[in-house]
Homo-oligomer: A and B are copies of this chain.
Amino acid sequence: MSVLREKILHVASDLFQTRGINSTGVDTIVAVAGTTKMTLYKYFHTKEDLILEVLQKGHQDFQSWLSDKLASNTKKPSEKLQKLFDFLEEWVTAPDFRGMAFITAAAEFPNEENPVHRLSAEQSRQFRSYLAGLALDAGVKDADGLALQLSLLIEGSMQAEQMKRGSGAIKYAKKAAKILIELALKN
């Protein structure tokens, strides 16, 4: 894939998270990326297409990173659920953390018919389903229920962290999660 295309995706992702999607014009994106609008519109038909690709790439990167971390650092399925929050803390406290893209995107496009909103909702569902898979493997009975609860803690933390950097929300989310997970494993 073209290096410029990647650059545009990366710059757009950063600007969208730091300034907001609607507040970031394509002129700004190409200026920061060091290219021109003609090139941007060659790779992305519309700004909406660009937004959708930024979202998709962001979610893929996050999911791959998390899956790899869990795969190479844990063995027992029940261990994965616990370790999950250690890795999320690592993710959140990284200097280039910019929030979870699909959370902010859904807020900027509240209309449920909007393609950007739909993709955001889909990614949120996907993440919960991934958590449910982990819970199921660990032997949790109400895997969907626990997954939903954990997702609330996680997405809440991400949002709190974006609202105020260094909030430490994820630390308390981890504590709460530990309690919920242990109890769910007993039942």
Contact = CB atoms under 8 A, between A and B. Distances in A.
Contact of A156 (B152, B163, B164): B152
Contact of A180 (B99, B169, B179): B179
A61 interface: no
A55 B109 CA distance: 18
B163 A148 contact: no
A178 B175 CA distance: 15
Interface centre among A20, A107, A154 (most CB of B within 10 A): A107
A56 interface: no
A19 B110 contact: yes
Interface in A144-170: 145, 148-149, 151-157, 159-160, 162-165, 169
Interface of A: 17-20, 22-23, 99, 103-104, 106-112, 117, 120-121, 124, 145, 148-149, 151-157, 159-160, 162-165, 169, 172-173, 175-176, 179-180, 183
15 contacts: A22-B22, A22-B23, A22-B108, A23-B108, A106-B163, A112-B164, A120-B163, A145-B172, A149-B153, A149-B176, A151-B156, A152-B152, A152-B172, A152-B173, A155-B156
Which 10 interchain pairs have the tightest Cβ spacing? A152-B156, A107-B107, A156-B156, A22-B22, A104-B107, A149-B176, A148-B172, A106-B163, A155-B156, A149-B172
Given A99-B110, A145-B175, A152-B160, 19 more contacts: A19-B110, A22-B22, A23-B108, A103-B107, A106-B159, A106-B162, A107-B107, A108-B108, A112-B164, A117-B163, A120-B163, A149-B153, A149-B175, A152-B157, A152-B169, A153-B156, A153-B176, A155-B156, A179-B183
